[in-house]
Amino acid sequence: MYKAGKRLGSSVYYMEIAIIALILFNIGFNIFMTRILANLITNCFQKLNLELSEAITTVIEGAQSINMPEVNPLQMMVMELIKKNMNADPKTPDLELLREKDGKFKK
């Protein structure tokens, strides 16, 4: 058997059991506090997300009432040209080459 237990009596066993119980209690308490902290962080991030979405919504709605300058007609023409080129079929070119029977280009 355990020699120290014979010399010191059964109080050593009770101290070992108490130390092991305190360690297990500490582990359980740490797990419990970690779960509480994780829930708190999750709730704070959800609240922050909600507040940010509300702020962005108010900024966007407020920006629509600002008088924006009209678009330059030259910019509109360039934008229409770019849209047409993006939507064009790549298999069929948009250019028409008109030639006469002798091979010269028509005027």
pLDDT, one tens digit per residue, over 85-100 is 877 666 654 455 666 7
Q: How is the chain split into domains, by residue range?
A: 3-69
Evaluate whether 106 touches 100 at the Cβ level (below 8 Å): yes
Mean pLDDT of 12-17: 86
* Residues found in the chain: 107
Token pair listed for 41: 């962080």
What is the separation of C-alpha 18 from the centre of its chain, rounded to a whole number of angstroms?
A: 48
Q: pTM of whole model > 0.75? A: no
Return left, alpha or beta for 9; rule: phi > 0 is left, psi -120 to 50 is alpha, else beta.
left
Evaluate whether 81 touches 89 at the Cβ level (below 8 Å): no
Q: Which amino acid is at 93?
A: P
The predicted structure's pLDDT at residue 94: 44
